[in-house]
Protein backbone atom coordinates (compact mmCIF):
# COMPACT_ATOMS: atom_id res chain seq x y z
CA UNK A 1 0.00 0.00 0.00
CA UNK A 2 2.88 2.34 0.75
CA UNK A 3 4.05 2.08 -2.86
CA UNK A 4 0.76 2.85 -4.57
CA UNK A 5 1.11 5.98 -6.63
CA UNK A 6 4.87 6.05 -6.21
CA UNK A 7 7.38 5.96 -9.06
CA UNK A 8 9.57 2.90 -9.50
CA UNK A 9 12.63 5.12 -9.17
CA UNK A 10 11.94 5.25 -5.43
CA UNK A 11 13.63 1.81 -5.26
CA UNK A 12 16.66 2.78 -7.32
CA UNK A 13 19.89 1.97 -5.56
CA UNK A 14 22.39 4.85 -5.35
CA UNK A 15 24.94 2.67 -7.18
CA UNK A 16 22.74 2.57 -10.30
CA UNK A 17 23.94 5.17 -12.82
CA UNK A 18 21.39 7.48 -14.45
CA UNK A 19 22.87 6.55 -17.80
CA UNK A 20 21.67 3.00 -17.19
CA UNK A 21 18.11 4.22 -16.68
CA UNK A 22 18.28 6.34 -19.82
CA UNK A 23 19.47 3.35 -21.82
CA UNK A 24 16.61 1.29 -20.44
CA UNK A 25 14.03 3.86 -21.52
CA UNK A 26 15.61 4.01 -24.95
CA UNK A 27 15.36 0.22 -25.31
CA UNK A 28 11.68 0.35 -24.33
CA UNK A 29 11.06 2.83 -27.11
CA UNK A 30 11.38 -0.08 -29.50
CA UNK A 31 8.02 -1.19 -28.04
CA UNK A 32 9.14 -4.76 -27.35
CA UNK A 33 9.21 -6.70 -24.06
CA UNK A 34 12.50 -6.23 -22.22
CA UNK A 35 14.04 -8.26 -19.40
CA UNK A 36 16.32 -6.63 -16.87
CA UNK A 37 17.66 -7.04 -13.33
CA UNK A 38 17.29 -4.04 -11.07
CA UNK A 39 19.45 -3.31 -8.06
CA UNK A 40 17.13 -1.74 -5.49
CA UNK A 41 17.09 -0.52 -1.93
CA UNK A 42 14.20 -0.70 0.54
CA UNK A 43 13.16 1.86 3.13
CA UNK A 44 15.42 0.24 5.73
CA UNK A 45 18.45 0.63 3.47
CA UNK A 46 18.67 -3.06 2.62
CA UNK A 47 19.75 -3.96 -0.92
CA UNK A 48 17.64 -6.38 -2.95
CA UNK A 49 17.52 -7.47 -6.60
CA UNK A 50 14.48 -7.91 -8.84
CA UNK A 51 14.49 -9.75 -12.14
CA UNK A 52 11.85 -7.85 -14.11
CA UNK A 53 10.07 -8.40 -17.40
CA UNK A 54 8.97 -5.03 -18.81
CA UNK A 55 6.02 -5.26 -21.20
CA UNK A 56 5.09 -2.08 -23.14
CA UNK A 57 1.33 -1.41 -23.55
CA UNK A 58 0.44 0.34 -26.81
CA UNK A 59 -2.70 2.21 -27.96
CA UNK A 60 -4.46 1.90 -31.31
CA UNK A 61 -1.91 4.20 -32.86
CA UNK A 62 0.89 1.97 -31.65
CA UNK A 63 1.98 4.53 -29.12
CA UNK A 64 3.36 3.60 -25.71
CA UNK A 65 0.83 4.44 -23.01
CA UNK A 66 2.13 2.42 -20.04
CA UNK A 67 4.53 -0.33 -18.97
CA UNK A 68 3.58 -3.48 -17.07
CA UNK A 69 6.40 -4.84 -14.91
CA UNK A 70 6.44 -8.47 -13.72
CA UNK A 71 9.17 -8.96 -11.11
CA UNK A 72 10.48 -11.65 -8.80
CA UNK A 73 13.14 -11.43 -6.11
CA UNK A 74 16.55 -12.86 -7.06
CA UNK A 75 18.44 -11.42 -4.10
CA UNK A 76 19.55 -14.84 -2.83
CA UNK A 77 21.31 -15.62 -6.10
CA UNK A 78 23.11 -12.28 -6.03
CA UNK A 79 24.00 -12.77 -2.40
CA UNK A 80 25.58 -16.14 -3.20
CA UNK A 81 27.48 -14.59 -6.10
CA UNK A 82 28.75 -11.81 -3.86
CA UNK A 83 29.88 -14.34 -1.24
CA UNK A 84 31.56 -16.37 -3.96
CA UNK A 85 33.36 -13.28 -5.26
CA UNK A 86 34.40 -12.38 -1.71
CA UNK A 87 35.74 -15.88 -1.06
CA UNK A 88 37.54 -15.82 -4.38
CA UNK A 89 39.20 -12.54 -3.41
CA UNK A 90 40.22 -14.00 -0.03
CA UNK A 91 41.60 -17.10 -1.73
CA UNK A 92 43.59 -14.98 -4.15
CA UNK A 93 44.95 -12.96 -1.23
CA UNK A 94 45.97 -16.15 0.58
CA UNK A 95 47.64 -17.43 -2.60
CA UNK A 96 49.63 -14.21 -2.96
CA UNK A 97 50.63 -14.35 0.71
CA UNK A 98 51.73 -17.98 0.34
CA UNK A 99 53.74 -17.15 -2.77
CA UNK A 100 55.45 -14.29 -0.95
CA UNK A 101 56.20 -16.55 2.03
CA UNK A 102 57.76 -19.17 -0.24
CA UNK A 103 59.88 -16.51 -1.95
CA UNK A 104 61.01 -15.14 1.40
CA UNK A 105 62.06 -18.58 2.61
CA UNK A 106 63.37 -19.89 -0.71
CA UNK A 107 66.99 -19.16 0.16
CA UNK A 108 66.54 -20.86 3.51
CA UNK A 109 65.11 -23.93 1.78
CA UNK A 110 68.07 -24.00 -0.63
CA UNK A 111 70.56 -23.87 2.26
CA UNK A 112 68.72 -26.62 4.12
CA UNK A 113 68.71 -28.71 0.94
CA UNK A 114 72.48 -28.27 0.52
CA UNK A 115 73.12 -29.23 4.14
CA UNK A 116 70.92 -32.30 3.79
CA UNK A 117 72.64 -33.29 0.53
CA UNK A 118 76.07 -32.93 2.17
CA UNK A 119 75.08 -35.06 5.17
CA UNK A 120 73.56 -37.71 2.90
CA UNK A 121 76.71 -37.80 0.77
CA UNK A 122 78.92 -38.28 3.84
CA UNK A 123 76.63 -41.02 5.16
CA UNK A 124 76.52 -42.82 1.80
CA UNK A 125 80.31 -42.62 1.39
CA UNK A 126 80.82 -44.06 4.87
CA UNK A 127 78.28 -46.80 4.21
CA UNK A 128 79.88 -47.66 0.85
CA UNK A 129 83.33 -47.73 2.49
CA UNK A 130 82.12 -50.11 5.23
CA UNK A 131 80.45 -52.37 2.66
CA UNK A 132 83.58 -52.33 0.48
CA UNK A 133 85.75 -53.37 3.45
CA UNK A 134 83.37 -56.22 4.25
CA UNK A 135 83.34 -57.26 0.59
CA UNK A 136 87.15 -57.26 0.44
CA UNK A 137 87.28 -59.40 3.60
CA UNK A 138 84.89 -61.87 2.01
CA UNK A 139 86.94 -61.85 -1.21
CA UNK A 140 90.10 -62.47 0.83
CA UNK A 141 88.38 -65.36 2.59
CA UNK A 142 87.32 -66.78 -0.77
CA UNK A 143 90.90 -66.49 -2.08
CA UNK A 144 92.22 -68.29 1.00
CA UNK A 145 89.68 -71.03 0.42
CA UNK A 146 90.73 -71.26 -3.23
CA UNK A 147 94.42 -71.50 -2.30
CA UNK A 148 93.51 -74.22 0.18
CA UNK A 149 91.67 -76.06 -2.58
CA UNK A 150 94.73 -75.89 -4.83
CA UNK A 151 96.98 -77.13 -2.02
CA UNK A 152 94.66 -80.07 -1.44
CA UNK A 153 94.39 -80.66 -5.16
CA UNK A 154 98.15 -80.77 -5.48
CA UNK A 155 98.76 -83.00 -2.45
CA UNK A 156 97.39 -86.13 -4.07
CA UNK A 157 99.28 -85.84 -7.38
CA UNK A 158 102.46 -84.98 -5.47
CA UNK A 159 102.09 -88.18 -3.45
CA UNK A 160 101.46 -90.09 -6.63
CA UNK A 161 104.48 -88.42 -8.21
CA UNK A 162 106.64 -89.47 -5.27
CA UNK A 163 105.46 -93.06 -5.58
CA UNK A 164 106.03 -92.93 -9.33
CA UNK A 165 109.58 -91.68 -8.87
CA UNK A 166 110.22 -94.51 -6.40
CA UNK A 167 108.88 -96.99 -8.90
CA UNK A 168 111.08 -95.45 -11.58
CA UNK A 169 114.06 -96.12 -9.40
CA UNK A 170 112.98 -99.71 -8.81
CA UNK A 171 112.25 -100.35 -12.47
CA UNK A 172 115.24 -98.57 -13.88
CA UNK A 173 116.44 -101.77 -15.53
CA UNK A 174 113.02 -102.28 -17.18
CA UNK A 175 113.00 -99.76 -20.03
CA UNK A 176 109.33 -100.33 -20.91
CA UNK A 177 108.16 -99.93 -17.30
CA UNK A 178 110.39 -96.89 -16.90
CA UNK A 179 108.89 -95.23 -20.00
CA UNK A 180 105.31 -95.78 -18.79
CA UNK A 181 105.99 -94.41 -15.31
CA UNK A 182 107.91 -91.48 -16.77
CA UNK A 183 104.98 -90.66 -19.09
CA UNK A 184 102.52 -90.78 -16.17
CA UNK A 185 104.74 -88.51 -14.10
CA UNK A 186 105.07 -86.07 -16.96
CA UNK A 187 101.27 -85.90 -17.35
CA UNK A 188 100.82 -85.24 -13.62
CA UNK A 189 103.39 -82.45 -13.68
CA UNK A 190 101.71 -80.96 -16.75
CA UNK A 191 98.29 -80.97 -15.02
CA UNK A 192 99.76 -79.35 -11.92
CA UNK A 193 101.48 -76.72 -14.05
CA UNK A 194 98.26 -75.95 -15.93
CA UNK A 195 96.36 -75.62 -12.64
CA UNK A 196 98.82 -73.10 -11.20
CA UNK A 197 98.84 -71.18 -14.50
CA UNK A 198 95.05 -70.88 -14.37
CA UNK A 199 95.21 -69.67 -10.78
CA UNK A 200 98.07 -67.24 -11.44
CA UNK A 201 96.21 -65.50 -14.27
CA UNK A 202 92.75 -65.82 -12.77
CA UNK A 203 92.60 -62.24 -11.45
CA UNK A 204 94.03 -60.65 -14.56
CA UNK A 205 91.42 -59.27 -16.90
CA UNK A 206 93.14 -60.83 -19.89
CA UNK A 207 91.94 -60.25 -23.42
CA UNK A 208 88.58 -60.86 -25.00
CA UNK A 209 88.81 -63.96 -27.14
CA UNK A 210 86.83 -66.93 -28.40
CA UNK A 211 86.75 -69.79 -25.89
CA UNK A 212 84.77 -73.00 -25.52
CA UNK A 213 82.32 -72.70 -22.66
CA UNK A 214 82.70 -76.26 -21.35
CA UNK A 215 86.48 -76.01 -21.34
CA UNK A 216 86.23 -72.77 -19.33
CA UNK A 217 83.79 -74.38 -16.89
CA UNK A 218 86.13 -77.35 -16.43
CA UNK A 219 88.97 -74.98 -15.46
CA UNK A 220 86.76 -73.57 -12.70
CA UNK A 221 85.76 -77.07 -11.58
CA UNK A 222 89.42 -78.12 -11.43
CA UNK A 223 90.24 -75.23 -9.09
CA UNK A 224 87.25 -76.00 -6.84
CA UNK A 225 87.67 -79.79 -7.13
CA UNK A 226 88.76 -80.39 -3.53
CA UNK A 227 85.88 -78.30 -2.10
CA UNK A 228 83.37 -80.07 -4.33
CA UNK A 229 84.65 -83.50 -3.28
CA UNK A 230 84.94 -82.62 0.41
CA UNK A 231 81.31 -81.41 0.52
CA UNK A 232 79.99 -84.33 -1.54
CA UNK A 233 78.43 -82.07 -4.17
CA UNK A 234 77.15 -83.56 -7.40
CA UNK A 235 77.84 -81.36 -10.46
CA UNK A 236 75.38 -82.19 -13.22
CA UNK A 237 76.20 -80.71 -16.65
CA UNK A 238 73.04 -81.12 -18.72
CA UNK A 239 74.17 -79.71 -22.05
CA UNK A 240 75.83 -82.22 -24.35
CA UNK A 241 76.88 -79.57 -26.86
CA UNK A 242 79.83 -77.24 -26.42
CA UNK A 243 79.72 -73.64 -27.64
CA UNK A 244 82.40 -71.18 -28.67
CA UNK A 245 81.83 -67.73 -27.17
CA UNK A 246 83.58 -64.37 -27.21
CA UNK A 247 84.49 -63.59 -23.60
CA UNK A 248 87.13 -62.67 -21.02
CA UNK A 249 87.92 -66.23 -19.96
CA UNK A 250 89.40 -65.35 -16.56
CA UNK A 251 86.33 -63.31 -15.69
CA UNK A 252 84.09 -66.16 -16.77
CA UNK A 253 86.06 -68.62 -14.62
CA UNK A 254 85.64 -66.29 -11.62
CA UNK A 255 81.89 -66.10 -12.23
CA UNK A 256 81.62 -69.90 -12.37
CA UNK A 257 83.73 -70.22 -9.21
CA UNK A 258 81.70 -67.65 -7.27
CA UNK A 259 78.39 -69.26 -8.18
CA UNK A 260 79.60 -72.79 -7.43
CA UNK A 261 81.26 -71.85 -4.10
CA UNK A 262 78.20 -69.80 -3.07
CA UNK A 263 75.97 -72.80 -3.77
CA UNK A 264 78.24 -75.10 -1.76
CA UNK A 265 78.17 -72.67 1.17
CA UNK A 266 74.37 -72.44 0.97
CA UNK A 267 73.89 -76.22 1.11
CA UNK A 268 74.91 -76.35 4.78
CA UNK A 269 73.48 -79.57 6.24
CA UNK A 270 71.53 -80.75 3.20
CA UNK A 271 72.02 -84.42 2.42
CA UNK A 272 71.52 -84.20 -1.34
CA UNK A 273 73.64 -81.46 -2.87
CA UNK A 274 73.14 -80.96 -6.60
CA UNK A 275 74.35 -78.16 -8.86
CA UNK A 276 72.89 -78.32 -12.36
CA UNK A 277 74.59 -76.42 -15.20
CA UNK A 278 73.14 -76.01 -18.67
CA UNK A 279 74.07 -74.11 -21.84
CA UNK A 280 71.56 -73.17 -24.54
CA UNK A 281 71.46 -70.76 -27.47
CA UNK A 282 69.69 -67.48 -26.79
CA UNK A 283 68.59 -65.63 -29.90
CA UNK A 284 70.96 -65.65 -32.85
CA UNK A 285 74.26 -64.58 -31.31
CA UNK A 286 73.98 -65.25 -27.58
CA UNK A 287 74.42 -68.13 -25.15
CA UNK A 288 72.27 -68.63 -22.06
CA UNK A 289 74.08 -70.12 -19.05
CA UNK A 290 71.79 -71.58 -16.37
CA UNK A 291 73.15 -72.63 -12.97
CA UNK A 292 70.69 -74.07 -10.45
CA UNK A 293 71.02 -75.73 -7.07
CA UNK A 294 68.72 -77.23 -4.46
CA UNK A 295 70.08 -75.11 -1.59
CA UNK A 296 66.81 -73.20 -1.06
CA UNK A 297 67.08 -70.08 -3.22
CA UNK A 298 67.57 -66.39 -2.47
CA UNK A 299 65.49 -64.63 0.20
CA UNK A 300 62.83 -62.40 -1.36
CA UNK A 301 64.04 -59.29 0.50
CA UNK A 302 67.45 -59.64 -1.18
CA UNK A 303 66.31 -60.23 -4.77
CA UNK A 304 66.36 -56.55 -5.77
CA UNK A 305 69.79 -56.01 -4.17
CA UNK A 306 71.72 -58.88 -5.77
CA UNK A 307 73.38 -56.75 -8.46
CA UNK A 308 74.20 -53.77 -6.25
CA UNK A 309 77.97 -53.13 -5.91
CA UNK A 310 79.53 -54.89 -2.88
CA UNK A 311 76.19 -56.34 -1.73
CA UNK A 312 76.55 -59.54 0.27
CA UNK A 313 74.54 -61.63 2.72
CA UNK A 314 77.62 -63.02 4.42
CA UNK A 315 77.82 -60.49 7.29
- When comparing pLDDT for 272 and 188, which is higher? 272
Q: Inform me whether the pLDDT recorded for 237 exceeds 90.
A: yes
Question: Is residue 208 a contact partner of residue 246, using CB atoms and an 8 Å limit?
Answer: yes
Share of the chain above pLDDT 70, in %: 61
Q: Using one digit for the tens of pLDDT, what is the confidence trace for 269-282?
A: 788 999 999 999 88
**H or E stretch at 37:** strand 34-41
What is the phi/psi pair of residue 34, to 5°?
-140, 130
Q: Inform me whether the pLDDT recorded for 255 exceeds 80.
A: yes
Pairing of strands 47-58, 64-73: antiparallel
Q: Inform me whether the pLDDT recorded for 6 exceeds 80.
A: no
What pLDDT sits at residue 246? Answer: 92
The band of 241, judged by pLDDT with boundaries at 50, 70 and 90, is: confident
Average per-residue pLDDT for the chain: 76
What single DSSP character describes residue 311? -
pTM exceeds 0.75, yes or no: no
Ordered by where they begin, the domains of the chain are 8-73 (3.30.450.20), 202-315 (3.30.565.10)
What pLDDT sits at residue 27? Answer: 66
Q: Using one digit for the tens of pLDDT, what is the confidence trace for 20-53?
A: 666 766 666 667 777 877 788 888 888 888 888 8
* Residues in CB range of 245: below 8 A, 6 or more apart: 210, 211, 212, 213, 287
**Which of 147-156, 259-268, 292-301 shows the lowest per-residue confidence on average (mean pLDDT)?**
147-156
Closest to 83 measured CA to CA, from 71, 91, 72: 91
Q: Using one digit for the tens of pLDDT, what is the confidence trace for 279-302?
A: 998 888 899 999 999 988 888 887
Identify which of 75-89, 94-108, 203-217 has the greatest average pLDDT.
203-217
Q: How far is CA 178 from CA 85, 121, 131, 288, in A?
A: 114, 70, 57, 48
Question: Is residue 164 a contact partner of residue 181, using CB atoms and an 8 Å limit?
Answer: yes
- When comparing pLDDT for 31 and 220, which is higher? 220
Share of the chain above pLDDT 90, in %: 12
What pLDDT sits at residue 244? Answer: 92
What pLDDT sits at residue 96? Answer: 73
Closest to 252 measured CA to CA, from 287, 296, 304, 292: 287
What pLDDT sits at residue 169? Answer: 62
Pairing of strands 286-293, 274-282: antiparallel
Amino acid sequence: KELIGKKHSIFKHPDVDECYVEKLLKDLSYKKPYQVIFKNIDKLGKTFYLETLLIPILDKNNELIEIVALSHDVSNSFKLNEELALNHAKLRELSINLENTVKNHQQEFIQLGKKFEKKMKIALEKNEKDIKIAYEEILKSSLEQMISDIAHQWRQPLNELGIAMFQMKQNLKDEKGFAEIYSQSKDMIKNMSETIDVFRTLFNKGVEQYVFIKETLNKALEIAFETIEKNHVNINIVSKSDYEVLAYENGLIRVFLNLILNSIEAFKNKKRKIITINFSKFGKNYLKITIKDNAGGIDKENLDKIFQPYFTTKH
